Structure 1
């Protein structure tokens, strides 16, 4: 059984909203972390159970608002939110859920979800945090379909205007990236599309994670058959371009950029190990380093944390970290 997580929270690249909105994580089997003190503290009060992707949202002071495994939403009191069941993510989807606050610092949030192994597509559900005295509810805008069939890859980043947010997923069976803009008017349902990189036609390539660099200039994909790819991302337009294959066929899953965006990491779920790339190298694929000792021997999902470390998990009960990812 895979006890893994790819989307602990809204990406750190969106931290311009607040340095504390990503400070609470819930993941795995009733597990969690609180980064508000600067050092992660274990949380044991979560109701969430998930093999893979989850998401959590805190307010500007770091107080928990709600969290989800892509199927069920729990409020800050760890109760199921009103209308908070039946979302169309899946506990076995690598990046099952992503939470995006509506720009403008209001009390509306959007939960984006993707299904398992291309069994469905990208949907979003609206959260009204003014409802139920701040406990929130899912509105009638629930499971709104944006893309019929996608991989398990889902990520987001701030627009260059500093207010809006791009939400990006990958289609199947094709090589199409779909980028949707979230503005003060809500979710723009017409995507920016980019056909780049390998065409995914094997079911194994529906599995794996995707991340955008903290500065919004690069996007990287990990796939369980086709390995690692790196692209340019334009946070002003949502366009993906300039594909670069970093590996041949290799069963990769997790991916994370370092805080500076200068170093890129992948996890190998076949032979095990951690792959590292120097994104400032003249020949990025040739800069590959592989670490297989100790904590790096078996690992899955990865996430850059508020403390600047990259945390990753492996089957079992523990977490490991890259303490100085740059």
Structure 2
């Protein structure tokens, strides 16, 4: 009898501004403050209106004025967080070997997490010191399977760029579907390094310098659009917004332009549709401005929107979130949360929530990589002669590297099967008949619309001849042989 099997695939292409995945579910920042986007509730704004789908305020392990970053799984389970110096596990305890990283809580972006290409369990943690520090850019490696699933830092402080550097960092998926680019600006020069399974290169893949950039002591963040094609860098003391074009296929930055604002530009983000750039300004109680990309490139002035945003980041629900600092001092923290409800339409609808947070925060909000590229099998397919088995298929299409089709190869010499991927469908399956028992490798290769292949995922189909047992409670023949070995 032929053995039937349904193959299961979970395809994840994550982008920070794509919002369907949950790698950015947990935000830890400030002085033990945080937000959990897995739990949404109604909340009453200061104008007495009820706002739905507000993230739950939580207590976090970090105590930081600025730099912070967290990372979660695709389904919203917290993995770890850091202020750039200490890594905390999902329980809020210091991770094994998790101290002594060379980031700094006073760096605008003290670090960022990048999934190690080719691995589903390892991460690179890139750290940035505070301005004036000479520790340079470094990266450490975390294996989340160690210490009973709580993770451990397995290598620490591998140098990328030595000497004095600025306080900004960004990570962007490479168009090859498996690697990343690491972006940074010091003084008037942008640097781009290749991030691969073997590590992060110490020699930049690309650099570009623009003499119009002010060489100030206190620079701001660097951010990337969700389509990975636009870059914005802020000059805190220099009063500038710097923009450029990025090519995720080559890692090249081009057409750097500088907008003089006369404001203390600190941090910001692109709108989900990438039409607008939102800029948090370190003045008053934190002022929020925006500008369309086209106007920014044309050198036009920014538009003032409202108070309460020294920094601003996008949440999973496509809203922008910021913290309102004290009216008495722009560096005095509060528990006040500010929310832009309609960032894709220009950000005119802003809600304020006094004392919304559990603890106080200042201007640091978590830094996230601009995209995670993950293709992960949920189960090891198993089938036997008399027991057909069905496996579900879920394809998440919201990431920047979403495929147009999947090519299935079942490892037994039969023809490859192509399956079209559509934006309206998230469940996929393939039924295949194996004529002989054995261990088969199933390969599923995603392809983009232009024919570019992304990293394939392989899984084993264990096809066995299941014999019937006299004792009906004996089920060992229904187990995967790999499970028995374990």
TM-score range, shorter chain: 0.7 to 0.9
1:166-245 paired onto structure 2 within 5 Å:
166-171=181-186, 174-197=187-210, 198-204=212-218, 207-226=219-238, 227-245=240-258
SS at match of 1:280: helix
Which of 233, 255, 262 lines up with 2:275 in the alignment? Answer: 262
TM-superposed deviation, 1:285: 2.7
1:310 paired with 2:345, answer: no
CA distance in 2, matches of 1:256, 1:69: 20
Output the CA distance in 2 between the equivalents of 1:225 and 1:82.
38
- Which residue does 1:33 correspond to in 2? 35
Match of 2:300 among 286, 311, 317: 286
Q: Aligned in 2, Cα 1:15/1:268: closer, same or farther, shift over 3 Å?
A: closer
RMSD (Å), alpha carbons: 2.2
Q: Which has the larger radius of gyration?
A: 2
The answer to whether residue 140 in structure 2 is matched with residue 125 in structure 1 is yes
Q: Separation in 2 of the partners of 1:156 and 1:35?
A: 22
- Count how many residue pairs are aligned between Structure 1 and Structure 2: 306
1:129 Cα deviation after fit: 1.0
Tell me the secondary structure at the aligned position of residue 230 of structure 1. strand
CA contact 1:33–1:40 (8 Å) conserved in 2? no
Query: Which residue number corresponds to residue 21 of structure 2?
Result: 19
Matches within 5 A, 1:21-170: 21-37=23-39, 39-120=53-134, 121-139=136-154, 141-148=155-162, 149-170=164-185
1:5 match: none
Distance of aligned partners of 1:247 and 1:282 in 2 relative to their CA distance in 1, 3 Å threshold: closer
- Between the aligned partners of 1:300 and 1:282, the Cα distance in structure 2 is 20
Aligned to 2:340: 322
| Contact preservation (8 Å) 2:140, 2:158 | yes
The alpha carbon displacement at 1:199 in A equals 4.4
Q: Does the CA-based 8 Å contact 1:23-1:35 persist in structure 2?
A: yes
Work out whether residues 16 and 162 of structure 1, in 8 Å CA contact, stay in contact via their aligned partners in 2.
Answer: no
1:241-287 Cα deviation digits (max 9, x unpaired): 11122224431101110011110011221355222111134964325
In the alignment, does 2:266 pair up with 1:253?
Answer: yes
Aligned to 1:273: 287
Q: C-alpha distance in 1, partners of 2:174/2:165?
A: 23
Deviation at 1:193, TM superposition (A): 3.0
Q: Distance in 1 between matches of 2:117 and 2:184?
A: 20
Q: Distance in 2 between matches of 1:156 and 1:80?
A: 25
TM-score by structure 1 length? 0.87
SS in 1 for 2:15: helix
Structure-2 separation of matches of 1:109 and 1:241: 29
Note the residue ranges of structure 2 that are not aligned, 5 or more in a row.
1-13, 41-52, 326-333, 345-486
User: Structure 1 residues 259, 48: closer, same or farther in 2, change over 3 A?
Assistant: same
Q: Which moved more, 1:265-274 or 1:237-246?
A: 265-274
State TM-score, norm by structure 2.
Answer: 0.59
Contact 1:98–1:112 at 8 Å: present in 2 too? yes
